[in-house]
């Protein structure tokens, strides 16, 4: 299958040779019980994608990609792999596959969740929506979130727009009530001790994903800086190979967020815009390609092509993500 993909698409191959390819691929959880296919990926799909990436591109550590950009060396054909949210499945499922294919990866850690190995509210929401049906989700969440339709995308956007992506007591109570009918989502973050185990793998580097995973542009400048700086210091004190890199939660940033990242001592920061960075990307607004169960290998290959960058910028309405100010669907993954 992968050989056929690489052998075919003559016009695509010509465009790749003339214009160039490469970028940053971002994953979340590698789930054993598939749900939220627009966010998470199964182990079978991850294995196929890693095989494809290693056969088609030069897969390098994220730090190498950033160093190449800074020193003016070519990033053509280079791909870096990242995982957001430090799910326990990165240790249990992804790491053996990364080791099988020799793929380095950077894991972005939301430190407050990883103190205890907590479950993320968007996964809990997705689980009750898919397992309990729309009625359970709407009944449990619409009052708390003010979203009559109660779909996952609408509630996610409402939570970001109204609460900067943080749970309040009312929403927590509504979500817990729904979980009594559906059970708890199996996905969770790594705990502090599990992070230490993951750190034994030389293929793994670490970066910041803030403390509480808020939508940073909706916080004050001081809060943004504190979320970033405190998460970095917590990681640096506990783990090896921690880099001054920030993955913006929900992929969202504005000018103040970039300044907060710089003031907090970051060296680079990454969004989630579904496209390649191209040869001369800004290291503080670097786009990544979110990959999940819904994505095909051909789709991933297209998004890694530099020729597709203008089309994807036009499709997304600009070079940078739009921060939701009202209740509407977010165009990026959590």
In the chain, what percentage of residues exceed pLDDT 70?
Answer: 88
In Å, how far are 47, 86, 157 from 188, measured between CA atoms?
A: 21, 9, 21
Q: Classify burial at 33, counting beta carbons within 10 Å of its beta carbon; exposed 0-12, middle 13-18, buried 19 or more.
A: exposed
Q: Quick check: 134 pLDDT over 80?
A: no
Residues 124-131, mean pLDDT to the nearest whole number? 84
CA distance 168 to 178: 16
In Å, how far are 1, 54, 194 from 100, measured between CA atoms?
A: 19, 11, 21
Residues 84-92, mean pLDDT to the nearest whole number? 98
Q: How high is the pLDDT of residue 13?
A: 86
Q: How high is the pLDDT of residue 331?
A: 40
CA 168 to chain centroid, in Å, comes to: 23
For CA atoms 104, 110, 114, 115, give the dihedral sign: positive
Between 309 and 197, the more confident residue is 197
Lowest mean per-residue pLDDT among 48-62, 156-170, 297-311: 156-170
For CA atoms 316, 321, 327, 330, give the dihedral sign: positive
Q: How high is the pLDDT of residue 46?
A: 98
Residues 295-323, mean pLDDT to the nearest whole number? 88
Name residues whose C-beta falls within 8 Å of residue 135's C-beta, 6 or more positions apart in sequence: none
Lowest mean per-residue pLDDT among 39-53, 135-149, 209-223: 135-149
Q: Quick check: 150 pLDDT over 80?
A: no
Q: Quick check: 194 pLDDT over 90?
A: yes
Q: How high is the pLDDT of residue 199?
A: 98
């Amino acid at each position: 299958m992968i050989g056929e993909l690489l052998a075919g698409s003559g016009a695509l191959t010509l465009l790749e040779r003339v214009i160039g390819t490469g970028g940053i691929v971002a994953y979340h959880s590698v789930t054993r019980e598939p749900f939220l296919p627009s966010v998470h990926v199964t182990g079978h799909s991850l294995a196929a994608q890693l095989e494809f990436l290693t056969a088609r591109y030069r897969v390098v550590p994220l730090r190498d990609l950033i160093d190449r950009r800074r020193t003016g060396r070519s990033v053509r054909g280079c791909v870096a792999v990242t995982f957001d949210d430090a799910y326990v499945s990165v240790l249990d499922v992804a790491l053996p596959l990364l080791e099988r294919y020799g793929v380095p990866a950077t894991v972005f850690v939301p430190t407050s969740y990883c103190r205890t190995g907590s479950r993320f509210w968007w996964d809990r929401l997705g689980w009750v929506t898919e397992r309990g049906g729309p009625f359970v989700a709407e009944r449990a969440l619409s009052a708390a979130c003010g979203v009559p339709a109660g779909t996952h995308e609408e509630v996610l956007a409402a939570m970001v727009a109204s609460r900067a992506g943080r749970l309040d007591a009312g929403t927590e109570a509504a979500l817990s009530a729904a979980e009594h009918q559906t059970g708890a989502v199996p996905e969770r973050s790594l705990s502090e001790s599990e992070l230490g185990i993951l750190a034994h793998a030389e293929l793994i580097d670490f970066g910041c994903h803030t403390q509480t995973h808020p939508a940073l542009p909706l916080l004050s400048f001081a809060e943004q800086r504190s979320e970033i700086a405190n998460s970095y210091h917590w990681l640096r004190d506990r783990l090896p190979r921690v880099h001054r890199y920030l993955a913006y939660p929900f992929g969202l940033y504005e000018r103040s967020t970039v300044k907060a990242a710089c003031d907090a001592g970051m060296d680079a920061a990454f969004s989630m815009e579904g496209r390649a960075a191209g040869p001369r990307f800004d290291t503080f607004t670097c786009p990544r390609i979110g990959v999940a169960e819904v994505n095909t290998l051909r789709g991933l290959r297209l998004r890694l092509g530099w020729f597709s960058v203008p089309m994807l910028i036009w499709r997304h309405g600009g070079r940078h993500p739009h921060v939701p100010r009202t209740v509407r669907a977010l165009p990026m993954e959590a």
